[in-house]
Amino acid sequence: MKYRKLFLSIVSLLFVLAVFVSLTGCSQSKSVNVEIAYRGHPPVQAVLKDVDALLVKYDQQVKVARYDVDTPEGETFLKGKEITDPTVLAIFIDDSMMYQGGSEEVQFFSFPVGRGTAMTAAGNWTLEDLDAALAQAINSDQ
């Protein structure tokens, strides 16, 4: 009789726990991989500060890996991504640098619009594009 009460108590507790989990909508959120290949020069570092400030918004939802392209690890990373162009900055979200931003497709390569230098032209992306691409990647297939 003593074990029967214990058994019923455990079953009741598990039932209540199952109802709670289903009602609160506990689900595992999707984690998005962000890989950043960069050259450690001052103009790039300034852009990376802005990118880092944006990534804070997504906190636990993104896993960020960084590769300095001036190191053997960074060179290996670029080869694996089949990038042969000189690279100051390349950002991959779940293995893609591309994002359909409204009517225009953007590529997270080089500097953002308006941030290029005399030596390196800006790409066609903005921090707003990066924010939108991260939000889309996080919210897809949840």
Phi/psi of residue 81, nearest 5 degrees: -90, 0
| pLDDT single digits (tens) 93-113 | 999 999 987 778 999 999 888
Helix axes 42-56, 127-139, angle to 10 degrees: 40
Q: What is the DSSP string of 77-142?
A: HHHHTT--S--SEEEEETTB-EEEETTEEEE-BSBPTT---SSS-B-S--HHHHHHHHHHHHHTT-
- 3-state secondary structure (DSSP) of residue 18: helix
- Residues 62 and 45: their CA atoms lie apart, in Å, by 20
| pLDDT single digits (tens) 17-76 | 454 444 444 445 678 999 999 999 999 999 999 999 999 999 889 999 999 999 999 999
CA torsion, ordered 122, 32, 128, 80, to nearest 10 deg: 10
Give 32-139's CATH code, choosing from 3.30.70.330, 3.10.105.10, 3.40.30.10, 3.40.47.40: 3.40.30.10
Single out the residue of 95, 115, 97 nearest to residue 106, CA to CA.
97
